[in-house]
Structure 1
Amino acid sequence: MASNWTVCGVCDFRNIQNSSVVWCSECDEGLCDQCKEHHGAVKSSRNHSVISVTEYQKLPLNVLEITQTCQKHKEQYQTFCKKHDCPCCRRCVIETHNECKDLTAIDDMVHNIKSSNAFLEIQKQVSELLENIKRVRNDRHKNLEYLKEERDMIVHDIEQTRKKINDYLDQLQENLIKELYVTEDNECKKIKHFMSTIEKNERDITDLQVNLTNIKQHASDLQAFLVLKHIEKVVSDKEEFIQSVVKSEDVKTKTLSFVVNEKVKNFARIEIFGSVAVNSKSCEVVVTGNRTQQAQMTVPITVSECINNIKLKNKMEINLQSGLIRGCALLPNGKMMFCFNDVKEIVALNSNGTYDFEIKLHIQPCDMAYIEAEHAVVVTSGNSSEMVNHIIDLTNRSINKSMKVTSRSYGIAIRNNAIVYCEQGTGIIEMQLNDKSKKTLVSSRMASFSYVAVHEDKMYYTNRNDHTVACYDIHGNLKWEFKDIKNIKYPQGISVDGNGNLYVAVKDYNCVVVMSPDGKQCRKILSASDGLKNPRALHFERTTNKLLVANEGNCAFLYDVD
């Protein structure tokens, strides 16, 4: 271990206790103020570099423990043995390293070590390690946020499921109670009808009884004799009536009972409402090193001649009904379509901006894409409780096909005979239109309201949480990621022109930017002065070179792109 740096080495040798104020690494000892002056004046040590003890003690403990002299022979190190990777004093060379051929003077080894490539390389590696560990920490922090977001979503889904069950049971209860009242009313009517017959016969018998009393008191014997036969027949008929009544169904006591459906009984035996599972996905952290190319980067802002020459003209302003617009599509025939998320409908306009038709849905539509071969649009369900993508036939204006998804779907695009969409918490999914088979193209904890665009073998998507635009190849390999908070904050809708240039709606900055296909160039082409306010959706129609941009509110704009 290095000498005790808290006391002056020279004074300590003379059995004098003085605190050191500086440290000489070459002498490997501390010096007090008085010895420091002597040390700087003596010829053998006047060129030694000293540092204050305060600065010296900032060094790591393992550095402070390094000795400047050989602990075995108590002599200064003079050479370095590369074979054994250790410093040697004069006697070490004689005793242990006399046969070693790769010995170098220690002064040559340590000369300019702090500015050497090796030292700079280590510094660079440490910086990269720190950056990597920060990425891991940030990734875990995002995971905490995603867990909270997913927890809230699951709580909402559980509550919605419970509400559906309650509503269904309430309806069953209401139907059963209605049936109960109807049944009781029918039985009461039967009894009352029967009672009217009984009451009529009761009145007849009462009248007969009164007549008999009168006959007995006031009629002659001849009159009594002659009428008795008639009375006997009436009494006989009434007795037969009573006998028939007693044996009929009408006098059976009616009761009401309630029998619980066996399925309802089984429902009461359900032990759990559902289950919560923890799913693991591949880590998204891109670990960089000095020997590997950094895939995730902050791209410098430069403007190429290609995107600098893009100009918008022939602006058409379109006033729409009030509602929240989340997605839009511009068809080759010029028809414009919009997803109104809050009122659960899609609206179609003619090429001149006049109203054409609307289609009511039971989901909250988020984004749409046009399927030219079927003359249909596919619509994602966004935050709807029912997680499904609908294909809507534009000819008969009805849902032609429904495709269930495993999580909430947002942005969507068409690639060959498949749809490509952003699925929250999962990534970018490709689903075939013919057999509904699907595969994950990009595994990612996808944020809500992420949008996607496809061009040739590249996919581009926006992440509103990270304020990024990322590019992947069709195999799921990250090609580049653009992040510059000064230009893009809360990116939303994204589309691609025929040259591969990207158009991105930037909600928080009320603008639209155009980016080059390699993600290295970016330029603002529309801003708040052009009428943009919280732009959410846009679509570039490649056959006509037109750009449709929609604010979140009730306004959209159509441009010719030159």
Structure 2
Amino acid sequence: MASNFESSIQRGCDFIHDFACSACEEDGLSTEAQYFCNQCRKYYCNNCVPVHNKLYKRHTVLDRKDVKKWAATPGMVDVLERCERHPGEALKLVCGDHDQLCCHVCVAMDHRQCSAIQHIPDVAKGIGKDPEFRQLPQRVAVLRKQIEDMKNDRKKNSTSLRKTRTAIVDEIKAIRKKINDILDKMEKTTVQELDRLVADQELSIKKDIESCTQMDDELKNIIDDIQSKDSSGEPPLYIGFRKCEEIIKQANEILQNMSSVVKYEITFRKHNEIEDNLCSVTTFGELNDSNFFCKQPRTSLFPREHVFATNGYKEYNVKISSDKDTCYNGGICELPGGEIVITDYKNSKVKLLDQEYRVVDHCDVPKYAFDVCHIGGNEVAVCVDNSDDSCELHFINITKGKLVTTRKLSFSHRCFGAAHHGNNLYISSRTALYVYTMTGKLVKKLYEDKSGDKTVMRIAISNDGKTIYITNNQLITLDNLGNKLAIFTDPDWKGPFGVHATTTGHLFVCCLGSYTVLQVDKDGKTKLATLARKDGVYRPIALFFSSRTSSLVVSGVKDTLLVLNVR
């Protein structure tokens, strides 16, 4: 085969060009053309085009930017048969190894080692009678119709989206106006109360000034009278003395009473919960893409300071026929549409549950699937940790009720717990907490504890990203720089494992050893409530609060999920 294309290969050396300079070719040279003259119908290189332009100043010369406009000259290749990579060459060959149409230059440059190269005339014999070729116009027509329909649908969709945007913006503005009205009313009420207090204080000050003025006048008058009676004998002086003593006594009493108020003043202490509650949410509402297969948005009925209580529970079986072992449901998260994603450590599976907690799809992962966290939209990330061989984070998209792995990140350390906030991933290695970008670039090692092999287990992050919670045999609270803010233990728990922080600031912990589910304050310092204890709870590993259903979903070493209704 190589001998058949010897001349082609020789043509494929470095001096083969898609367009050769016409002037250079007349001199027996091969120079790549950079310009084409429509009037001359010839090609010119960088050296020859100045001469042409000097002789033919009115000719239209096209450069490489307009190569598609270079007109076909006698001997040029027809558009259909022209090689897209080398426009000056015709497609004459087919490479069977790559299933690709080729010109001589293509073969010389990219297919020298290929063994299945054939001439197109040989391959094309009988193409006119080929059923697929004869159906080609109809197939193209059908496809073009589908394309046109899709384009029209997208245009209608775009119009609908713009209308939807306008409606949502109007709703957002209405919410903003309502909030502004509430804030205006709060401001007005607060200022009115301030004005009332200031008026009361000013009235007291005015009365004090009047009393001081009156006492001063009385003292001045009595002393003046006494001094004017100096020559009138002792009885008038005695009377003046006694009256003056009485006025002095009254003045001292008044001054003593006034002295109890050193200074009239008003202080103001703002209600921090107003700002805190506003900071705890980042948008006026939750926006869901229309391609989510359930569009019911999450809502939150509970303020940040709310202490929960249980109101019954149910269990839902999540074991499927292909599970060989008891389910070890190590991770759990909720999608915007209310679907649940869980990881099954023992059976090396990721399972998708519908809103009724029924398993509707699953996918296998290599070895152990530990934690799972929600990334955004219908995407989750799963910790796949094989201890020694491979430690990876698998990104899985849920499309039309199916779990589809889209990409993976590999780590040189264990991948046991995962959380996502902003544009960063937080990965627990059991002894350290790492921060990565979404593309897998290490940002920093945020926290490390080498005192044992299980010092950094599961992770939860507050909605504002300022507080990070990790579990080992304690609940440790960090700031976003890795500094310890609090360490919490409680006699009621043993082996705290799963931890979950809601968007509104509630914090929940489940304890693997004591079979308990607890609510802890947002500072990670105080237990607020024990929500479950042993009944229905068996070795809990992970939990998630669904504000959509006001329930706490708990998973563990069991074939069922525990769903606690809370209030």
Q: TM-score, normalised by structure 2?
A: 0.42
Larger Rg: 1
Q: TM-score, normalised by structure 1?
A: 0.42
